[in-house]
Structure 1
Amino acid sequence: MLPTLASGALFFPGLFALCTWALRCSRPGWSRTDCVMISTRLVSSVHAVLATGSGIVIIRSCDDVITGRAFGETSGISLSAASSWQN
């Protein structure tokens, strides 16, 4: 999980810097504030698409989310213990 965190910590600021730089070069008439605002929205959109995609993958990989979760909680296994087994 740490490599995923590290790659996200590099990817999103890097994408923001790249978008800001590309907008400053391609649209010299725009102010820095405009470029930063558009870059922020682009990075937020990419983040939303990736989060939605990962949610869809998780939902599709579960057979039955409701009973699978209820079974783990009623059998005396805490969710934190179950998640530590997966890692």
Structure 2
Amino acid sequence: MLLTLASGALFFPGLFALCTWALRRSRPGWSRTDCVMISTRLVSSVHAVLATGSGIVIVRSCDDVITGRAFGETSGISSSAASSWQN
């Protein structure tokens, strides 16, 4: 989990810096503000696509969330215990 956090902390600022640098080199007529704005939007789009993809993977890996939670609550097991039991 910590490795994933560190990877994200390096990937997104690195992508932003790379996009800003590439735009400034490829479009010398654009102002720095324009390059930063486009880079921010590009990084936000990449982040949204990756977040959506991970959400789809999580949803597809769950069989039935409602039944799974109801089983833990009706059998006298707390929700936190049931979730740790499933992991």
- Per the shorter chain, which TM-score range? 0.7 to 0.9
Taking structure 1 as reference, are residues 67 and 24 closer, same or farther at Cα in structure 2, changes over 3 Å only?
Answer: same
Displacement of 1:72: 3.4
Taking structure 1 as reference, are residues 67 and 6 closer, same or farther at Cα in structure 2, changes over 3 Å only?
Answer: same
Q: Distance in 1 between matches of 2:8 and 2:85?
A: 23
> Structure 2: which 5+ residue stretches go unaligned?
none
Q: Per-residue CA shift, 1:56-75, capped at 9, x if unaligned?
A: 00000010022123333454
Displacement of 1:81: 5.0
Taking structure 1 as reference, are residues 84 and 5 closer, same or farther at Cα in structure 2, changes over 3 Å only?
Answer: farther
Taking structure 1 as reference, are residues 61 and 38 closer, same or farther at Cα in structure 2, changes over 3 Å only?
Answer: same
Taking structure 1 as reference, are residues 60 and 11 closer, same or farther at Cα in structure 2, changes over 3 Å only?
Answer: same
Match for residue 42 of structure 1?
Answer: 42
> Structure 1: which 5+ residue stretches go unaligned?
none
Give TM-score, length-normalised by structure 2: 0.84
Taking structure 1 as reference, are residues 67 and 20 closer, same or farther at Cα in structure 2, changes over 3 Å only?
Answer: same
Moved more, 64-73 or 25-34: 64-73
Any runs of at least 4 consecutive aligned residues in structure 1 with deviations exceeding 3 A, and if so which?
Answer: 72-87
Q: Distance in 1 between matches of 2:83 and 2:9?
A: 23
Q: Distance in 1 between matches of 2:44 and 2:25?
A: 21
Taking structure 1 as reference, are residues 18 and 79 closer, same or farther at Cα in structure 2, changes over 3 Å only?
Answer: farther
